[in-house]
Amino acid sequence: MSKPLTPQELHNLAMNHVGKDLEKRGFEFIAINSKLKKHPQFVCMDAKKQYYFVVVKAVVLPDNANNYDVVWMESFKEHARTNDAKVLFAGVGLGNPESENLPIYLNEEYLIEYNGIQVLDTNFN
């Protein structure tokens, strides 16, 4: 019998997709934190030595992975400003191809909805 993925395993799956995207874009990884609800998940640097804090959010489809808690994100942006870093957000939706009512199973096919990395403005309004 197939084993459904735990919330931590879903988060790790999403992080793997985002990590590959960051790598393709030429980012250098400074730190990786895969613990659920610990932010940022990635601390990266670009070729110009600019630091980036990357927040990865995994959701089960049909939930919208691109929605985030705006109030919490403002406090996180403040943390980034104090560390001279920019904030990137990557929402990843994962689902079972058979039905949205079924879990995602270990070592089985899954649906992914990933619209790429969003740059979030850290400047004050």
Range of the domain at 34: 7-120
**For residue 125, is it within any domain?**
no
* pLDDT value of residue 55: 97
DSSP assignment of 32-85 equals: E--STT-S-SEEEE-TT--EEEEEEEEEETTS-TT---HHHHHHHHHHHHHTTE
Q: How many independent structural domains does the chain possess?
A: 1
Q: Give me the pLDDT at residue 1, please.
A: 65
Taking the CB of residue 49, how many other CB atoms lie within 10 A of it?
7
What is the CATH number for 50? 3.40.1350.10
Asked whether the beta carbons of 15 and 40 are under 8 A apart, the reply is no
- From first to last of the 125 residues of the chain, give the pLDDT tens digit: 689 999 999 999 999 999 999 999 999 999 999 999 899 999 999 999 999 999 999 999 999 999 999 999 999 999 999 999 999 999 999 999 999 999 999 999 999 999 999 999 876 54
Would you say residue 2 lies in a domain? Answer: no
Rounded to two decimals, the pTM is 0.91
99 assigned to some structural domain: yes
- Please indicate, yes or no, if residue 1 is contained in any of the structural domains: no
In a domain, 15, yes or no: yes
Within-domain flag for 37: yes
